[in-house]
Amino acid sequence: MKLGQLTGGGQDIAVTGFAIDHRKVAPGTVFGAFRGTRVDGEDYIADAIRGGAIAVVARPEAVVEGAVHIADDEPRAAFARLAARFFAPFPPTTVAVTGTNGKTSVVEMTRQLWRMAGHHAASIGTLGVTTADERVTTGLTTPDIVTFLSNVAGLAREGVTHLAFEASSHGLTQYRTEGLRIAAAAFTNLSRDHLDYHGDMAAYLTAKMRLFSEVLSPDGIAVVWADDPQADRVIDLARERGNRLVTVGERGATLRLVGRDPTLLGQGLVIEAEGETHHVNLPLIGAYQAANALVAAGLVIATGAPVGPTLQAIARLQPVRGRLERAAIARSGAPVYVDYAHTPDALEAAIAALKPHAGGRLIVVFGAGGDRDAGKREPMGQVAAAQADRVIVTDDNPRSEDAAAIRRMVMLGAPDATEIGDRRTAIAAAVRGADAQDIVLIAGKGHEQGQIVGDLVLPFDDVAVARECAG
């Protein structure tokens, strides 16, 4: 492909690829030079050109000598547009999901529902790239734009026709989810998270709303969990743009949840849709799992599936890795669950999901990550102290921070909690100390396979450790 075909200009120069890391530049590469919070890509323009870059996407004031300067006040957006033209085509039906909690579950449930309907479907998010027969871990909720678009194009070449992906606030702010036609976009909820990056809740919400104000196709459909306090913001925005709406939840107009009956291993849902009442047995416990399933169903319906069969397919949904996953049964008979909950609201939701099933105590093991929003640590402790019967505060990816200092901040909200810094020891104490009627919740890491300490990623899997301790 020629550069002029991408830019609309007359440059008869062959393009071989795109890169945002100068070390990955090869002859014929288009290089994106972006100013970040830690690294300024403009500092590496000369290195990229020496490596073979034939064009550089950067701010108008950047110095580019020896290559075509594609100048734009928002170089990330311009780079994404060009990269999308280079990597296309993509799966014809693509949907995106944003919100603080539930994104991973919703995209994976959407993939499952599409697969049950006979489509070749995939999802991209925190769990990686997931299809019916393989999973490739990317390590980020929203990977960089080059990785993202090349992965999506690869899925299309493999025959994937339906794709659901997570749109994180970071990814939306940094234009890492551009270039695809988004047929439907979903909003799950909004609560405190990532304020270390966004600064305040207003900026965080603005980042999320960009999915609906700019990324969603003009003729696309907005799918909204109507019971969230911020749902009206999304609904108003969709109406302003002329997008169709699919609303779900107790306040939903499309899929109205009128009843929820918890059972031993799941819950019975009563849903009103299209003037009919549907009774569905969801094989997952917890109110928020019902919310995730209904948002996923809303996306599938928004992309052309009939309502009745889609709702009945909910009964065949499989658990999502690290999302209220039953990891083990302790020797006493107590079930041990692992969940990714790492915000106050998510922790409260996970506890609320499990508490009705506990004949005895609900024992919670959790911590808080380092180099992340420190303001949520004490509220997480408060949630655990108020809702759980026994609380163990431990380490959870301390990164460059002092782990003991993080634990102290958490325990300001849970002063009577037990403090056990070593996560393996903490899990063992919870699992081995649980009685037959108790339930153990290990929160914070979910599907993650490592514990980040300083610059090291030490192998650690909450599910595997729980099973070892239960054995």
> Which residues lie closer than 8 Å to 192 by C-beta, 6 or more apart?
100, 201, 343, 344, 345, 373, 375, 376, 379
Give helix then strand counts, H and E, for the chain: 16, 23
Average pLDDT over residues 272-285: 96
Could you give the percent of the chain with pLDDT greater than 90?
Answer: 81
Q: What's residue 168's pLDDT?
A: 86
**16 known ligand binder:** no
Q: What is the pLDDT of residue 139?
A: 58
| pLDDT computed for residue 138 by the predictor | 62
> Is residue 415 a known part of a binding site?
no
Quote the tokens at residue 88.
């296309």
Q: Compute the residue count for the chain.
A: 471
Q: Examine the pLDDT at 36 and tell me if it is beyond 80.
A: yes
Q: Which domains does the chain have, with CATH numbers?
A: 3-86 (3.40.1390.10), 88-316 (3.40.1190.10), 325-470 (3.90.190.20)
Q: Mean of the pLDDT values across residues 457-465?
A: 97
pLDDT for the residue numbered 142: 58
First to last CA, the chain: 57
The SS3 of residue 350 is: helix
- For residue 339, say whether it is annotated as part of any ligand binding site: no
Is 217 annotated to bind a ligand? Reply is no
pLDDT of residue 127: 87
Ligand-binding site membership of 176 (annotated): yes
Strands (E) across 139-242 are located at 162-166, 182-187, 216-225
Which pLDDT belongs to residue 100?
Answer: 86
3-state helix, strand, coil in the chain (%, to 5): 35, 25, 40
141 is in an annotated binding site: yes
Annotated ligand binding at 189? The verdict is: no
Longest Cα pair distance anywhere in the chain, in angstroms? 74
What pLDDT does residue 203 have?
Answer: 80
In DSSP notation, 247-261 reads EEETT-SSEEEEEEE
Q: Which amino acid is at 103?
A: K
Mean pLDDT over the full length of the chain: 93
Give the separation between CA 150 and CA 227, rounded to whole angstroms. 36
Whole-model pTM? 0.85
323 is in an annotated binding site: no
Q: Who contacts 397 (Cβ-Cβ below 8 Å, separation ≥6)?
A: 369, 370, 445, 448, 451, 452, 453
Please give the average per-residue pLDDT across 169-181, as a whole number. 86
Label residue 170 by pLDDT band (50, 70, 90).
confident
Residue 219, annotated as binding a ligand: no
**The pLDDT value given to residue 140:** 57
